[in-house]
Amino acid sequence: MTVLQKKPVSPVGHLSPEEIEQIGVELDAIRQEFLDARGESDAAYIRKVIDFQRKLELGSRAVLLASVFPPAWIVGTAGLGIAKIIENMEIGHNIMHGQWDWMRDPKIHSTTWEWDNASPSEQWKHSHNELHHTYTNVVGKDNDLGYGIMRVDEDQRWIPMYLAQPVWNFINACFFEYGIAAYDLELGKNLASEKRRKNPEFQAQYKVTLQKIRNQATKDYVVHPLLSLPTGSFLPTIAANFTANLMRNLWTHSVIMCGHFPEGVETFEKASIEGETRGDWYLRQMLGSANISGGKTMHFMTGNLSHQIEHHLFPDLPSNRYSEIAPKVKDVFQRYGLSYHEASLPKQVYSAWHKVVRLSLPNGWLADTTPANAPKQLAKLWKMTTGGPKVRRAIEARSKQEARRREATAAA
Burial grade of 405 (CB within 10 A; 0-12, 13-18, 19 or more): exposed
Q: Considering only CA atoms, which of 144, 52, 126, 40 is closest in space to residue 90?
A: 52
Query: Are 258 and 349 contacting, i.e. CB atoms less than 8 angstroms apart?
Result: yes
Beta bridge partners of 291: 342
Strand partners for 343: 292
Query: Nearest CA to 83 among 46, 54, 120?
Result: 54
- Please say if the pLDDT value at position 145 is more than 70: no
Task: Choose the weakest-confidence range: 33-47, 125-139, 210-224, 349-363.
Answer: 125-139
Please, what is the end-to-end C-alpha distance for the chain in angstroms?
25
* Predicted TM-score of the model (pTM): 0.91
Q: Averaged over 47-64, what is the pLDDT?
A: 98
Residue 126 is classified by DSSP as I
167: three-class secondary structure by DSSP: helix
| Dist. CA 298–CA 296, nearest whole Å | 5
pLDDT in tens, 308-330: 999 999 999 999 999 999 999 99
pLDDT digits (tens, 9 = 90+) for 347-394: 999 999 999 999 999 988 888 899 999 999 999 999 999 988 888 888
Q: Which of 209, 210, 236 is nearest to 224 (CA)?
A: 236
Answer whether residue 410 shows pLDDT above 70: no
Helices of type H across 65-193: 70-86, 94-96, 121-124, 165-174, 176-184, 187-190
Mean pLDDT of 218-235: 95
Q: What is the pLDDT of residues 83-127, one digit of tens each?
A: 999 999 999 999 999 999 999 999 999 999 999 999 999 999 998
**Confidence (pLDDT) at 66:** 95
Quick check: 1 pLDDT over 50? no
Q: Does pLDDT of 138 surpass 70?
A: yes
What are the respective helix, strand and coil percentages of the chain, to the nearest 5? Answer: 70, 0, 30
Mean pLDDT for the chain overall? 91
* Per-residue pLDDT band at 193 (split at 50, 70, 90): confident
What amino acid occupies position 372? Answer: A
- Strand locations in 284-381, DSSP E? 291-292, 342-343
Contact 245, 216 (CB under 8 A): no
What is the Cα–Cα distance from 303 to 226, expressed in whole angstroms? Answer: 32
Answer yes or no: is pLDDT of 2 > 60.
Answer: no
Check residue 63 and give its pLDDT.
Answer: 97
d(CA 177, CA 291): 22
323: CB partners within 8 A, 6+ apart? 296, 299, 304, 307
